[in-house]
Structure 1
């Protein structure tokens, strides 16, 4: 499955991804996003980004918070990854899912469908088109493209007599420097919307999820939930709730479970 997580319990891949699925179901923001996506007709889907923005603003007409494209970009990727977790069953999704191990490949920017390799680049261009109503300046296009941290962008001249060894040496040094500065970021990007990242204590993760579900979905009284989940200490119970919240925020960004919650 990959080397970016540490296994502490016995569990199957299916159980782990089902827990990921259940955490995503606990996200109120993603639930709203699923409702918005369900309301978009086939005709409206031709410009799905614009429709998402319109329907979001309609739901929050008095909100002082600007529409966050980066945030909704994560929701769109979750939609592509797991889909409508509120209307689909996990078993149906699991039967068509295969654990990805493919790493990013070298991309020729002259390929006709190159924008599909950089979904955030395409999103930035769409936002520019709707907000500024004029084509982006070439410098803006380049900035939108290289805003992706997943790739190293290099222009190699074909007219100069450069040896392959010189090219390889230059690129190797650039990649090492970039990875040294952003190793944690690279690991997150490799695992986003695909594979687990962090320490997996399955039993604990499941308990946090159960506590949050009983409290905020089933609306059970805290004392009852404490008794049912065998957490007698109130301060420990509060910590479990907080850890669940952090993991929910992680899965909204495509990361499960992440490392941040263990120290909370």
Structure 2
């Protein structure tokens, strides 16, 4: 092998490794996170990969972990610069309280609409307590802001009661400063538009999934089947998995 060929091969391997490392995806197979770039902010007391249910990452929400006035939610994230397009499948079960789960892109160095350090764009499943009907809705928000600029305080056509399996697919895309959000109920469905917003968030962003109980008491369990990166696919994308129900989730821990 010539020096030129060897050098080209080495550079190709390095480039390929860097490309794989930049993926935001993870199939959540086995008992360890497949993507080495994950980090926790406010790691929950109880979470596992594949132990509660094989092929799913399960998070039990800690109390006083919200994503509205402040960034206190339990956030599994990767630092990322530039464009992205990710989606996840999540199943949530909660009991009468204010709870949150979903996808968020958080910039700790960007000022929010009120001049505070720390801004984000999130697709949030908000489970509401008795005072708001004991049901869950989808929200598209920045920090303590969803009253314009393409954000949506309550997405029309989606409302699910508490103490049920809330099955949801969500997707967020960033192109430059433009963020686009979609959702669907089943994997074979077409994506439904949530909204488009132009937000100049400074890199690096913390991009990932989250879960928490906004109140001082309450219960939420969210199982995430995968994170798919549509721009830079992970080396192994998720294959077929058995359907998950709350009865199955609880039964696997008994």
Name the TM tier (shorter chain). Answer: under 0.3
Q: Which has the higher helix share?
A: 1
**Which structure is larger by alpha-carbon Rg, 1 or 2?**
1
Q: Which has the higher strand share?
A: 2
Please give the TM-score of this superposition, normalised by the length of structure 1: 0.25
